[in-house]
Amino acid sequence: MFNEAPNAKKENGELKYPKCDTVFQLHHEAIWKNPKNRSDEEHYLWLKSGITPTVYMQKHYTDIPKSKKYPIERVLSLSENVSVVVKGEEKNFKFFSSSPDYAFALVADMWKQGKRYERVEIHGIELETESEYRYQLTGFGFWIGYLTALGVKIILYNSIFDSPMYGYEGDVALPTTKIEKRIAELTTELGDDKDRYNQEAKIFLESLSGLLKADTSVEIQKELNELNKRSEQAGILNGRIRESQRYLEKARAMEGTAGASVFSVGEFDGARFSFKKQYIEVQSEAFNLNAQINIHLKKLLNLKKGSKKRQRALTEFGNMVAQLMNKNMLLLHIVGAIEENQYYVDSLKLSIRLAGGGR
C-alpha cells in the first residue's frame, strides 16, 4: 500500500487493511512528518510506533523502526539503456510519476534477482481524475509495460487500459454530411453576432482618440470589459465552427481518396489537449501584453494633452489594445475548439458503445 493508506481505520477503530505487509512512503520527510498531513495527522506517530509494516523510504530513518531504504540505484539501472534528449541535452531516463511506479519497478528488480511472484494484482489505482492524475498515467503505463515485457502476470482492477485498439478498433465513420449539418447548426446559433462584434470593436478602437485631450481611461476599461462579455458567446461559437470546418476539409479529402470519412477518438482527444496547451501560452501572452498596456497608458496620460508626443503615444496605445483584443478573441476561439473536440469525442464514444465496439 502507499503513504497513509495502511493506517486507515474502520468506524470501530480496527484497521481496514490488516494484511498489509509493505508500504511505500517515498516523499520528503517534511511531508510525512507534517502534523497537518492532509490524510492522517497522526501519520508520523504511526511511522514511529514500530507496529507498521515494512516501510520503503528514501533511506533508513532511525526514528522509523520499520523503515527500509528503497533500492533506487538498482531500480534506475533497469532502464539504463534509455536516455532522453531535451533541448539538446542528453539525460538519463528516470521516469517515476507516482508511488505505484516505484512499486512496479521494485517488482521488476525482484524478478530479475529471481524472486518471481505468481502474479501481480493492482487494486484501487484508477487514475481517473484528469486534473490530478493525468500526468501520472505515462509513468504508470511505462512500468506496467516493463513488467509485461518481463513476462510478469498482471491483473489490473481498473479501466485505465480498457479502450479500443488504435487502428484496429474505435474508428467511426463521420461523413461530410454530418459535419456539414453540425456547422449549419452552429452557424444558425451564431447568427449575426460575428458582424456585430466587428462593428463594435471598430467603434471602440475609434473611441480611444478621446485620450488625446482627456483622461477617459476608466470609461475605456469599462467598455472593453463589456465588449469582451458581449463577444464571449460569438467568439466561442466561431472557434467551434472553425474546428468543425477543419475536420470537414479532412473528411472531404478522405471521401475523395478512400470513399469514406473515418475518424478515431484519439484524433479529437489529441487536438483537445493541444488546444489546452495553446490556451495557456496565449493566456500568458495576453497577461503580459495587458501589463505593458497599463504601463504605456500611465506614460501617455503624463504627456501634454493634444501634443504630438501624446498623439504618437496614443497611436501606439491603440495598436497595443487592438493586439490585446485579438489575443482575447483568440482565447475564445481556442475555448470553442476545445469544446468542439470534446463534442466529437463524446459523439464517437457514444457511437462505439452503441455499436458494441467497447469491451
CB proximity list for 181: less than 8 A, separation 6 or greater: none
**pLDDT tens digits in sequence order for the chain, 359 residues long:** 999 999 988 989 898 999 999 999 999 999 999 888 778 888 999 999 999 999 999 999 999 999 999 999 999 999 999 999 999 999 998 999 899 999 999 999 999 999 998 999 999 888 765 545 667 888 999 999 999 999 999 999 988 887 767 667 667 888 999 999 999 999 999 888 767 888 888 999 999 999 989 999 899 999 989 988 989 999 999 999 999 999 999 999 999 999 989 888 888 988 999 999 999 999 999 999 999 999 999 999 999 999 999 999 999 999 999 999 999 999 999 999 999 999 998 888 777 766 654 44
Q: Is the pTM of this model over 0.75?
A: no
Q: For the chain, state the CA radius of gyration.
A: 29
Q: What are phi and psi of 91, to 5 degrees?
A: -130, 155
Tell me which residue of 39, 98, 73 sits closest to 47, measured CA to CA.
39
Total residues belonging to the chain: 359
List all residues 6 or more positions away from 39 whose beta carbon is below 8 Å from its beta carbon.
Answer: 3, 4, 5
Measured between alpha carbons, how far is 138 from 24 in angstroms, rounded to an integer?
A: 20
- Helix or strand holding residue 64 (H, E): none
- Which of 239, 190, 256 has the alpha carbon at shortest distance from 342? 239
- The residue among 354, 195, 181 whose CA lies nearest residue 251 is 181
